[in-house]
Chain A
Amino acid sequence: MAIEHLLYLSAFLFSIGLVIIITKRNAIMMLLGIELMLNAANLNLVAFGYDGKIEGQVFALFVVIVAVCEAAVGMAIVLRVYHYYTTSVPDDISNLKEQR
Chain B
Amino acid sequence: MKKIAIALAGVLALGVATAQAADKVRIGTEGAYPPFNNIDKDGKATGFDIDIANALCAEMKVECEIVAPLEWDSIIIGLNKKKYDAIVASMSITEERKKAVNFTDPYYSNNLTMVAKKGSGIDPTKLAGKSVGAQRATIAANYVTDNMKDVDVKLYDTQENAYLDLASGRVDVLVSDKLPAYDWLRSDAGKDFEFVGDAIDVNDKIGIAIRKSDEDLRAKFNEALKAIVANGTYEKINAKYFPFSIY
Q: Do chains A and B stick together as partners? A: no
Chain B contact residues, CB within 8 Å of chain A: none
